[in-house]
Chains A and B, each alone.
Chain A
Amino acid sequence: MRRGLDIVMGCVAGGCLLACLTISTGLVWSIARRGWGALSFSFFTEQIALVGASGGIFWNLVGTTVLLSTAFLACAPLAVSLALMERVWLRSESMKKALRLGLYTANGLPSIVFGLFGFLVFVQWCGWGKSWLAGGLVLAMSMLPTVTLVVLERMAAIPQRYIAAATGLGLSQSQVAWAVLLKQSWGGLISGSLLGLARAAGETAPIMFTATIFAGVTFPKGVVENPVLTLPYHIFILAQDSFAAGVETKMWGTALVLLGLVFSMSVAALPSRLYLHEESDV
């Protein structure tokens, strides 16, 4: 009886895991199957034509790259500063705790909230209109908590004796910050940023009011009224409006490219993530 229950339990749990993996990989497979036909050299190098039914996604790739680079440049210094704040400058334990809780909470904020904020502040109050800079800054804000938390985890994992040795050699706090903390945790900044960017690359909600349109622009030439084309918004619009056969292939092709982009960034960030999230042995 007990033996039987044991086996049943194992089967049920295993079945659950199998179901999860089947559903998820099935979805990836169905995207790949539909999108594969669209991929060709010209798909990456041509611009959009016939409302998405023809041509390629060159400027969408460029636009997404512009947004991600802006987001990275705006986010990285802030993330490092916040992490140093928690590790070095803040003295009181309760302040540190408040900062960490704030970061975790901010990490769970819905991306549409950042989109509305950007729409009001950058698009309307600053008068930028839809602009790549507004989108980049909004994405930077939405990924800032993730990046900071990864950097922070990495800094916390630095052995205490490194810091003690540096302090013992007479280094000041800022010298310790540069020579030990930043030097030992730059990998965390890279993998945290990759993780944040992987999420940001697929975000539609924060940029649809602030930074992106469907067609008709190339490389931005200024800030005001200079939107970009992006991969997620391209899919978002085509998914709602279009049933023409040519569009469908291109749409799934775009989804496949976006998925490839996101996956490759997440894979690059994986090793350090797994390493950090492992608890002691069972």
Chain B
Amino acid sequence: MTRVLSWLLSALAIGAFGFLLCVFLFQSGPVWQSEGTRYITGVSWFYRQHVFGALSLIYGSLAVTAVALLLAGPLGLGAAVFLSEYLPQKARLALKIPLELLAGIPSVVFGLLGIALLRDWVYRTFAKFDPLSGDTLLTAGILLAVMILPTMVSLFDDALRSVSGAQRRAARALGLTRAETIWNIVLPQASRGIASAFLLSVGRALGETVAVFLVIGRQDNNLPHPWYSPAPLLEAGQTLTTKLGGAETNIAFGDPLHWAAIMGLGVLLLVLTAGATCLGTLGRRRHA
């Protein structure tokens, strides 16, 4: 009885997730047929003309994520090093509690803070580049950095803690200072765990919707010319998630091709986040 029940319920749960994957793949079918690879490489998205190129959305997602990780990564790693290598056990636990709590602040609240505090700050600080408003890719990236910072510190801390204490003691006994122990023993040995933590954060950042939605400006077709130009960072943009979260999802439902294009964005998002999370998890587990 128990056995049958848990098989049935597990099948239901796994079936639901499998169904989710199938729904996204099959529903996005028409757009892959109609646009082919142009769906990913195409630079313009005009749904009234049935032109669907998702490149600017992919660019938006990657740019925002890159800004967030470049800002939060070093700061988070530094904080995790202090947390795991310098603080005594009790203080470390005491500080992990607020970090865990802060990691749980809802994203809509972050969006609100972004609107109230960050938007104007970006507009004033970068005034000499003449941005049209404070709603830019950069604003979204900074907000996202603040948002994933506690999570990153926690993940980095876990990675550093998985290096055994005996290694540290041996290094100190050989006369290395604490800083030398960290640089030469702890960080190299934890490098794999740190990379995993980084990938997990990438997955988290790519999938964030609401906070980014509120401060990014949601302007389609914003791409850099030439490709390495940083100029679009100070313009309004759009990411995969903000496109999906916008009103266009409701509009699209009546039109099979437009709907397929929207579901296609879901597929791209799934591939990117699941890829990052999966790799991150594998690295973390083999390391531990």
Interface residues of A, Cβ cutoff 8 Å to B = 2-3, 5-6, 8-10, 12-17, 19-21, 23-25, 27-28, 30-31, 34, 77-78, 80-82, 84-85, 88-89, 101-102, 104-117, 119-121, 124, 141, 144, 173-174, 177-178, 198-199, 201-205, 208-209, 232, 235-236, 239-240, 251-252, 255, 258-259, 262-263, 266-267, 270, 273-274, 277-282
Contact = CB atoms under 8 A, between A and B. Distances in A.
Contacts of B182: 9
B266 A113 contact: yes
Given A16-B75, A258-B106, A205 B158 contact: no
Contacts of A78: 9-10, 12-13
Contacts of B149: 20, 23-24
B249 A25 contact: no
B70 to A, nearest CB: 15
A108 B7 contact: no
B78 A205 contact: no
Given A20-B149, A112-B209, 12 more contacts: A3-B177, A9-B179, A16-B79, A19-B75, A82-B9, A82-B14, A109-B273, A202-B109, A204-B107, A236-B214, A266-B100, A270-B97
Pairs of residues from A and B, 10 with the lowest C-beta to C-beta distance, nearest first: A202-B106, A110-B207, A16-B78, A108-B277, A174-B2, A9-B179, A81-B9, A13-B82, A17-B79, A282-B165
Nearest to B276: A108
B27 A239 contact: no
Size category of the binding interface on chain B: 35 or more
Given A16-B82, A120-B27, A240 B10 contact: no
B162 interface: yes
B201 to A, nearest CB: 10
Interface in B1-44: 1-3, 5-10, 12-14, 16-17, 19-20, 23-24, 27
B1 A239 contact: no
B10 A81 contact: yes
Contact of B278 (A12, A105, A124): A105
A209 B270 contact: no
What's the dominant secondary structure at chain B's contact region? helix
B98 interface: yes
B155 to A, nearest CB: 11
Contacts of A114: 20
B100 A20 contact: no
Contacts of B274: 105, 108-109
A6 B208 contact: no
A201 to B, nearest CB: 7
B223 interface: no
B99 to A, nearest CB: 8
Interface stretch (B50-58, B88-96, B126-134): B88-96
B5 A205 contact: no
A262 B103 CA distance: 11
B111 A101 contact: no
Contacts of A236: 108, 111, 210, 214
Contacts of A28: 102, 105
A205 B246 CA distance: 10
Contacts of B23: 117, 120-121
